[in-house]
């Protein structure tokens, strides 16, 4: 098992949820945290603990985003008009690594980050190697022609674990898709219950 896969499974077990809804999650076999004390009963969390868990869950889902970067997203969402929690998840869904994961060009969010870093993705015909690059409405995202036969890409295209959401328009045969619009929270196909409102409460303390 690669270090990346092991780390992903550790996140699942630490949070106690099958965060990405994958069949290979260790939570399908044992629903407790990693470590020698993982199987002990968990205490009822405080309000702070509940808010912290919501933050860790959302950060983890998008590939364990750093605290510095996640805080920057919160501040940007707070600055904009409207519901801050809606804006926050909208920004997260605009990340290029999240977009290619949603478009089913790669099997996992961790693979998405690596795939972008290695220069396999074009945005409006230009190579972008920054996973946190924010895709805008109308942008066309595609896998470079030379990268379309990479086994990981072929694997992702055949996955039945998830569907492409309606805020993306994808031509799977052309390995190309359009970011139609920034989604609302209710449209985002999270496999587990996310509570971005608690994340906002955490940072608003």
In order along its 205 residues, the chain shows pLDDT tens digits of 444 444 545 554 555 665 646 555 454 455 555 555 555 555 677 999 999 999 999 999 999 899 999 999 999 999 999 999 999 999 999 999 999 999 999 999 999 999 999 999 999 999 999 999 999 999 999 999 999 999 999 889 888 878 999 999 999 999 999 999 999 999 999 999 999 999 999 999 8
50, 72: one domain:
yes
- The count of structural domains within the chain is 2
pLDDT score, position 21: 62
Within 10 angstroms of residue 86's Cβ, the number of other Cβ atoms is: 19
CA 31, CA 27: separation in Å to the nearest integer? 5
140, 172: one domain:
yes
Within 10 angstroms of residue 90's Cβ, the number of other Cβ atoms is: 23
Contacts of 101 (CB under 8 A, 6+ apart): 108, 109, 111, 112
Within 10 angstroms of residue 117's Cβ, the number of other Cβ atoms is: 13
Inside any domain, residue 122: yes
Domain holding 41, by residue range, is: 9-85+189-204
pLDDT score, position 20: 47
Inside any domain, residue 102: yes
pLDDT score, position 27: 47
Rounded to 5°, angle at Cα 56 from 133 and 186: 70
51, 31: one domain:
yes
pLDDT score, position 5: 46
Residue 95 DSSP class: B
pLDDT score, position 28: 46
Cβ atoms of 95 and 62 closer than 8 Å: yes
């Amino acid at each position: 098992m690669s270090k990346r896969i092991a780390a992903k499974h550790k996140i699942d077990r630490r949070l106690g949820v099958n965060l990405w809804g994958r069949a290979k999650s260790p939570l399908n076999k044992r629903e407790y945290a990693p470590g020698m004390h993982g199987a002990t009963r968990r205490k009822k969390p405080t309000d702070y603990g509940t808010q912290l868990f919501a933050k860790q869950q959302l950060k983890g889902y998008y590939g364990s985003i750093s605290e510095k970067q996640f805080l920057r997203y919160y501040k940007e969402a707070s600055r904009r008009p409207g519901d801050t929690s809606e804006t926050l998840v909208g920004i997260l869904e605009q990340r290029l690594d999240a977009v290619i994961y949603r478009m089913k060009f790669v099997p996992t969010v961790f693979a998405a980050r690596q795939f972008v870093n290695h220069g396999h993705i074009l945005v409006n015909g230009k190579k972008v190697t920054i996973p946190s690059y924010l895709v805008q409405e109308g942008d066309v995202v595609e896998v470079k022609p030379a990268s379309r036969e990479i086994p990981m890409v072929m694997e992702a295209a055949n996955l039945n674990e998830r569907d492409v959401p309606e805020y993306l328009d994808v031509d799977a045969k052309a390995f190309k898709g359009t970011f139609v619009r920034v989604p609302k929270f209710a449209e985002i196909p999270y496999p587990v219950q996310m509570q971005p409102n608690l994340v906002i409460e955490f940072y608003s303390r």
